[in-house]
């Protein structure tokens, strides 16, 4: 399992970000580079991309929450199976 945190913005002295909107929900499959959440700092709004491929298992910050840089946003678990098998 991997915890995704609020990143430092290159060259910007931001100490926190506001969660504007989740683009994925708990239980969704995500791929590396796919947008997860829209964040806003004092200077810019941006979409944070998933650093990993897996399943989004838990949102740790709600929309409108202020989250300090380095603090957790969500958790992604590695997908152990590539396809699902249905029982009949």
Point out which residues pair with 29 in neighbouring strands: 55
Dihedral pair phi/psi, residue 84, rounded to 5°:
-95, 140
CA neighbor of 4 nearest in space, from 44, 48, 47, 38:
48
Judge contact between 56 and 26, C-beta under 8 A.
yes
30-88 pLDDT per residue, tens:
999 999 999 999 888 999 999 999 999 999 999 999 999 999 999 999 876 544 444 54
Give the distance, in angstroms, between the CA of residue 15 and the centroid of all CA atoms in the same chain. Answer: 18
3-12 pLDDT per residue, tens:
999 998 755 6
pLDDT reported for residue 80: 64
| pTM exceeds 0.85, yes or no | no
d(CA 22, CA 64): 10
Q: Please report the domains of the chain, with CATH numbers, ordered by start residue.
A: 2-6+15-77 (2.40.50.100)
């Amino acid at each position: 399992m991997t915890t995704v945190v609020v990143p430092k913005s290159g060259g910007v002295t931001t100490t926190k970000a506001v969660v504007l909107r989740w683009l994925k929900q708990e239980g969704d499959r995500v791929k590396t580079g796919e947008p997860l959440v829209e964040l806003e700092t004092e200077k810019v709004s941006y979409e944070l991309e998933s650093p990993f491929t897996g399943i989004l298992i838990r949102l740790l910050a709600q929309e409108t929450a202020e989250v300090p840089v380095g603090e957790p946003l969500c958790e992604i678990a590695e997908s152990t199976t590539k396809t699902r098998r249905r029982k009949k």
